[in-house]
Amino acid sequence: MLRSECLESIVDLFDDVPCFVSVSRTWTEWNDLRPSDGNFKVKTLGSGSSLGLGLAMALPHRKIAVLDGDGAVTMNVNGLLTIGRLRPSNLIHLVFDNKMYESSGALPTATTYNADLVGFAAASGIESARRVATVADFRSAVENAFKTDGPHFIVADVVTPGKATSHAYSRMDETEGKFLFIRFLEAIEGRKIYQDAIDVKLSIE
Does the domain at 3-203 match CATH 3.40.50.150? Answer given as no
Residue 70's Cβ-count burial label (10 Å; 0-12, 13-18, 19+) is: buried
- CA-closest candidate to residue 31, choices 7, 13, 48: 7
Instruction: Tell if the pTM clears 0.85, that is, is over it.
Output: yes
- H-type helices in 59-134, by residue range? 70-74, 77-86, 117-124
The whole-number average pLDDT for the span 119-136 is: 97
**Domain limits of the chain?**
3-203
Residue 184: CB atoms within 10 Å = 19
pLDDT digits (tens, 9 = 90+) for 75-111: 999 999 999 999 999 999 999 998 866 666 666 777 7
The whole-number average pLDDT for the span 141-166 is: 86
pLDDT digits (tens, 9 = 90+) for 5-15: 999 999 999 99
What is the CA angle 142-143-144, rounded to 5?
Answer: 90
